[in-house]
Amino acid sequence: MCLSVLVVFLSTSMFAQTQTGSLTGTVTDDQGVALPGVEVTVDAPQLMGIRSFVSLANGSYRFPFLPPGRYVVTAKLPGFQDFSRPDVIVSVGVSIRVDIQVVQATEQIEVVVIAPSPTLDVKSSKLATVITSDLLENMPVGRSIFQAIQMAPSVIGSNASMVSVHGGVLMQSRYVLDGADITDPLRGYAAAVPTFDLVEEVEVVLGGLSAEHAKSSAG
């Protein structure tokens, strides 16, 4: 599950736009020339099988609607070295860019790129904090998702089902669980509180909210 205060809870079995991330990039050769026809694949434990995309005429590729998690990105083209990049982290609501460079080879070998996972969202201007499953499991917080939400900057809590963002009134925050609005329409608290151990990821949107979350004036 994913909580988006705007707070979004995310389940790995749901694939709506607000519950997934995306991965984009461009494939080039070692001279910087865009390469079409390259088979780019992504694989992760949470996927039902490997997803693939053949790069377009400008060398671009795109994987929308990816559930959050840690991915392996590979690229293959006959006559070029195989490319592999592990540990690419995709978070909910974030578009990550991974550019791929492949080089010609006289014999078939594989190039594995070891580098920090990109974290810059290239598509959205929103200000958000993502609390991953690793943080939920290892941070010294109580077994309440609302205590975990308070790890985000400018967020404080008042009770078991409401938080204040940027000093805003409690009723100004909005809560979304697996894409469904769970905010009580009269009192503004989260009408359903997910079990802590079932939460995969929490996104706390602190600013730059999209039109679909226009009812929230805080987070």
How many other C-beta atoms can be found within 10 angstroms of the C-beta atom of residue 174? Answer: 25
Who's near 5: CB < 8 A, 6+ residues apart? 149, 155, 163, 165, 173, 174, 175, 204, 205, 216, 218, 219
Q: Which of 85, 112, 139 is the last residue of a domain?
A: 112
Q: What is the CATH number of the domain that holds 48?
A: 2.60.40.1120
Task: Supply the pLDDT for residue 16.
Answer: 41
How crowded is the C-beta side of 66, counted as CA atoms within 13 Å?
29
9 and 28 within one domain: no
Give the C-alpha distances (Å, rounded to integers) separating 179 from 11, 44, 121.
9, 22, 20
157 and 108 within one domain: no
Q: Which of 112, 142, 158 is the last residue of a domain?
A: 112
How many other C-beta atoms can be found within 10 angstroms of the C-beta atom of residue 196? Answer: 16
Place of tokens 């990109």: 118
Task: Supply the pLDDT for residue 218.
Answer: 60
Q: For residue 117, is it within any domain? A: no
**Average pLDDT of each block of 10 consecutive residues along the chain (219 residues)?**
54 51 93 94 90 95 92 93 91 89 76 66 64 74 74 70 71 77 75 75 72 60
- Phi and psi at residue 136, to the nearest 5°: -60, -35
Domain count, the chain: 2
99 and 27 within one domain: yes
d(CA 152, CA 58): 39
Q: For residue 218, is it within any domain? A: no
87 and 38 within one domain: yes
Domain encompassing residue 132? 2-13+125-213
The residue type at 11? S
